[in-house]
Amino acid sequence: MATRHESIQYKGKVIEFPYDNQAEELIPDEELHEHLAKPTTDRTKRLKDRCRWKHATAGEFVEESVRAGIERMRLLTEGHKNSEGKPEVLRRAMILANILNKGTVVLQEDEIIVGYHAESPNWVPLYPELSYMAVQDYIQSRYAPQPVEEAKEINEYWKKHSLQAKCETYFEPIDLLRMYQVSTMEAPPFATGYNSMIPPYETVLEDGLLKRIELAEQHIKKAKEELSAPYWNAPERLDLVPKIDNWNAMIIADKAVIAWARRHARLCKIVAENFETDPKRKEELLMLSDICQRVPAEPAVGLRDAMQSKWFTYLICHAIDRYASGYAHKADKLLWPYYQTSIIEKSFQPMTHEDAVELFECERLKISEHGAGKSRGYREIFPGSNDLFIFTLGGINRDGSDGCNDCTDAILEAARNIRTTEPSIVFRWNPKGRLKTKRLVFECIRDGLGYPSIKHDTLNTAQMLYYSQFSKNNNGATIEEARDWANVLCMSPGLVGRRKSQKTRNEGGGAIFPAKILEITLNNGFDWSYSDMQLGLETGDPRKFKTFEDLWEAFRKQYQYCMSLSIRAKDIARYWEIRTLQMPFTSSIDDGCMELGMDCMELSEQPNGWQNPITSVVAANSLVAIKKLIYDEKKYTMEQLVEALHANWEGFEQMHQDFKDAPKWGNDDEYADPIIKRFYEDILSGEMVKITNYSGGPVMPVGQAVGLYMEIGSRTGPTPDGRFGGEAADDGGISPYMGTDKKGPTAVLRSVSKVDSGTQKANLLNQRLSVPIMRSVHGFKIWLAYMNTWCDLNIDHVQFNVVSTEEMKAAQREPEKHQDLIVRVSGFSARFVDISTFGQNCIIARNEQDFGPADLEYLGVEF
């Protein structure tokens, strides 16, 4: 039997909490999530049962069949060698064409969205042009591309030509070592190949690539006329030469993409006519053949066109031309016109709402088996998941009207029904959002998916406008464009649409780790606990610090050193991306690049700089404990603290208890909260915004965690908040440390709301809510009141785990019986049984928030 929440005495009434769905009361707590999946059709059930998952954990792929393919790296290298001597941007286009013309095209049974990016649906491609170290790791592993000797030879070739090789020369070896060890800062993208971007899907779906080719041809024609007009003027005209190269590269790339899509059309037809025996599937394959023949060459007309065209664009931008994590787009806005055509008007590719839900379930499964050839580091830090695939829904439209529509609902229904860890969803919470859609958001969360995570719509739109003022060409976001945003990855918003979207992680992304920075600040910049080396600046012996401010300022210097180095590394990588990693296909689908004849690596109209502080709350709680016990109460000396930390608190038990008992974040505490607010605003943000990145704008903090809160915890010694060496850090952004938020959910909201959201680009708030409350007849009402309060308090973000400890412990005992148990780790959701025991225990240790009468009253709940 399921546990029913105890009744509550509230405003003179006794409130009972029967389950919303009475039948669920018969399901034991330990197995609830195994009863929630309801694939919409037999097809999506079959596709889920046979899904070629690419989940990774502890740096390894979970499924045995995953290997690295050699095809992409081989064709890339061949293309690079064959195009020697050409302008670099044309080389990049020719390389893409070489991969697309000669690479393997894949079709799988049952699927209605087609296309893959390696020579086997079980494999992942590699990117030696980005990082030779990441490829070297694959070569040494059981996933090594075959023949391995050829792979080694290819990687050797790229050791000279890769982005990593080009960037490394600008840094001292000690700085590279400090960055590469990922304990005070994340390794720069040039060392890992990790990237993120937002492709302008809108132009592909609305215009089609033939139209984009025509536009480029017109620009070339006009430019050549201008070049040859009388009275040559070099300052005015010489810039047209690289523009012509860019437009020509766009044409080569677009033609190659069209031909590649049409190879899929041919494959579908060949299979229909020569292999398939089921007449219904034959018909379906011929339909898919027709779609791939038309899109992305032509504009999408119906929903099936739009989904296929989007998928092809995604594969090129995120997996074939270059690797980029993420699945950033505003899906309901992008697809709504095609939903209307096919489902409401039924004028092309007519279908029912349920057919649309099936299509969205298929998309989720397609993403679930997408293989990212990412480095070991990124296979470690998203444990239990595939990659960071996140798209956005809801909010408001460009004209300010409610952005929720029936397509939003179909996408949410698909997520709720099929139950996959990917892709995750962000929901933009706006008071204008319709209740029907918010109810579906609730149902996904209540069912334990961990998504949608929720972002404050108005705050983030305002942020887009804030960044626009720094635009280098005075063409940042207008108010209409500012309303058109999606999360780039887990947390940070960026513009979507026909132009001005972010194209590289060197603009925004990458992490900095305040807990480790505090640890080395307490050791004059030396890392005694992990790497045994001078990891930061020599900021002085903390035992000689006279005041708390001395420590504060020493921390500031260490933090600024890491920040400046991190952003310098990204901007130097940007410098080389502009010169050797152009993306002519992506440029061709960006209206700005097309108009100006510029490559998308170079053109940045809307700044969007950020870096992610991860482990901030451990550092902040530690500073609170130090201030209270050493500088205010003088109960201990800094010398004693340093000694206790070096002993991992052994022999210092009382002292450990005192530091552990010091006030902690998330309890609406009068002592802790002002210090922590200052930490977020004066240091985390205050120091970041002093930096200006390539795009001319400030860099702002995006507090989050991914799986790095565990990884960095394991590389961080004991900390003054009472943590032991190696223990996990806080699980995200502005979330209280696990188990230390003891005053209920509304105290957490009050603490978090004290930090001015306008000083931060984003801040992740993880909350774990009671299953019996959320599944009760009052679940939606209480959650809605919570969300409205959260919105009124101007908090940037919140996401929820709704899963019982009983069920997680049952899954630890018998993992094979709990394949559908999903948990929210950080900005992504994961299959619980694919996480290490330590990671699982960290989720279990999060405080489950219940709602008492005081919370309900604060939220204004009426029964």
Partner 1 sequence: MQAKAKSRSLDIRIQPGISQSCQKCKWGIEDPTDPARGQCIGSRTKIGSIWKRMIHDYYNSTCEKFEEGEVSFRDHV
Partner 2 sequence: MATCAQCRSFFLIPEDADDFEQGKGDCVRQEQDEKGKYWLSKPIMSHTLTDTCPHYKGKN
Interface residues toward partner 1, by CB under 8 A? 57-60, 62, 133, 136-137, 140, 180-182, 187, 191-192, 375-377, 379-380, 523-524, 526, 528-532, 541, 642-643, 646, 648, 710-711, 713-715, 717, 724-728, 836-839, 841
Contacts to partner 2 by CB under 8 A: 50-52, 65, 101-110, 119-122, 255, 258-259, 262-263, 266-267, 270-271, 274-275
Cβ 814 to partner 1 shortest distance, Å: 14
CA distance 409 to 451: 14
Comparing CB distances to partner 2, the nearer of 5 and 370 is 370
Q: φ, ψ for residue 724 (rounded to 5)?
A: -85, 160
Q: φ, ψ for residue 467 (rounded to 5)?
A: -65, -30
- Binding partner selected for residue 110 from partner 2, partner 1, none, CB under the kind-specific 5 to 8 Å limit: partner 2
Cβ 132 to partner 1 shortest distance, Å: 10
Other C-beta atoms closer than 10 Å to the C-beta of 374 total 25
Other C-beta atoms closer than 10 Å to the C-beta of 432 total 15
Comparing CB distances to partner 1, the nearer of 297 and 381 is 381
Comparing CB distances to partner 1, the nearer of 650 and 682 is 650
Comparing CB distances to partner 1, the nearer of 482 and 644 is 644
Q: φ, ψ for residue 725 (rounded to 5)?
A: -60, 135
CA distance 677 to 757: 11
At 299, the amino acid letter reads: P
CA distance 758 to 680: 11
The answer to whether 349 and 237 have CB atoms below 8 angstroms apart is no
CA distance 570 to 692: 12
Cβ 156 to partner 2 shortest distance, Å: 26
Q: 502: closest CA among 424, 574, 562? A: 574
Comparing CB distances to partner 1, the nearer of 169 and 233 is 169
Comparing CB distances to partner 1, the nearer of 196 and 463 is 196
β pairing state of 390-394 and 424-429? parallel
Cβ 844 to partner 2 shortest distance, Å: 32
Cβ 264 to partner 2 shortest distance, Å: 8
Other C-beta atoms closer than 10 Å to the C-beta of 292 total 28
CA distance 499 to 99: 26
- Binding partner selected for residue 121 from partner 2, partner 1, none, CB under the kind-specific 5 to 8 Å limit: partner 2
Radius of gyration for the alpha carbons in the chain, expressed in angstroms and rounded: 27
Comparing CB distances to partner 1, the nearer of 136 and 753 is 136
What SS3 state is found at 424? strand
- Binding partner selected for residue 496 from partner 1, partner 2, none, CB under the kind-specific 5 to 8 Å limit: none
Element (H, E) at 410: helix 406-418
Mark out the alpha helices in 419-506 (DSSP H runs): 435-446, 457-468, 479-482
Hey, what are 408's tokens? Answer: 């939003």
Q: 486: closest CA among 333, 368, 363? A: 333
| 3-state SS string for 113-171 | CCCCCCCCCCEECCCCCCCHHHHHHHHHCCCCCCCHHHHHHHHHHHHHHCHHHHHHCCC
Cβ 553 to partner 2 shortest distance, Å: 58
Comparing CB distances to partner 2, the nearer of 270 and 793 is 270
Comparing CB distances to partner 1, the nearer of 66 and 223 is 66
Q: 130: closest CA among 61, 76, 68? A: 76
Comparing CB distances to partner 1, the nearer of 81 and 142 is 142
Cβ 471 to partner 2 shortest distance, Å: 38
Query: Token match 């939220």: residue?
Result: 859
CA distance 301 to 338: 6
Hey, what are 217's tokens? Answer: 């041809």
Q: φ, ψ for residue 587 (rounded to 5)?
A: -60, -40
Comparing CB distances to partner 2, the nearer of 3 and 65 is 65
Comparing CB distances to partner 2, the nearer of 109 and 633 is 109
Comparing CB distances to partner 1, the nearer of 136 and 564 is 136
> How would you classify residue 732: left for phi > 0, otherwise alpha for psi between -120 and 50, otherwise beta?
left
Distances (CA, A) of 853 to 16, 136, 186, 727: 13, 58, 43, 34
Comparing CB distances to partner 1, the nearer of 291 and 618 is 618
Cβ 95 to partner 2 shortest distance, Å: 17
According to DSSP, the residues that pair with 801 across neighbouring strands are 768
Cβ 185 to partner 1 shortest distance, Å: 11
CA distance 75 to 144: 17
The answer to whether 486 and 426 have CB atoms below 8 angstroms apart is yes
Cβ 801 to partner 1 shortest distance, Å: 20
Cβ 246 to partner 2 shortest distance, Å: 22
Cβ 53 to partner 2 shortest distance, Å: 10
- Binding partner selected for residue 192 from partner 1, partner 2, none, CB under the kind-specific 5 to 8 Å limit: partner 1
Contacts of 238 (CB under 8 A, 6+ apart): none
Query: Token match 């502890």: residue?
Result: 58
According to DSSP, the residues that pair with 510 across neighbouring strands are none
Comparing CB distances to partner 2, the nearer of 266 and 544 is 266
Burial class, 789, CB count within 10 angstroms (exposed 0-12 / middle 13-18 / buried 19+): buried
Cβ 379 to partner 1 shortest distance, Å: 8
CA distance 730 to 752: 14
Comparing CB distances to partner 2, the nearer of 270 and 845 is 270
Cβ 176 to partner 1 shortest distance, Å: 9
Cβ 63 to partner 2 shortest distance, Å: 9
Contacts of 23 (CB under 8 A, 6+ apart): none
Cβ 285 to partner 2 shortest distance, Å: 10
Cβ 690 to partner 1 shortest distance, Å: 27
- Binding partner selected for residue 725 from partner 1, partner 2, none, CB under the kind-specific 5 to 8 Å limit: partner 1
Comparing CB distances to partner 2, the nearer of 109 and 661 is 109
Query: Token match 């972010």: residue?
Result: 502
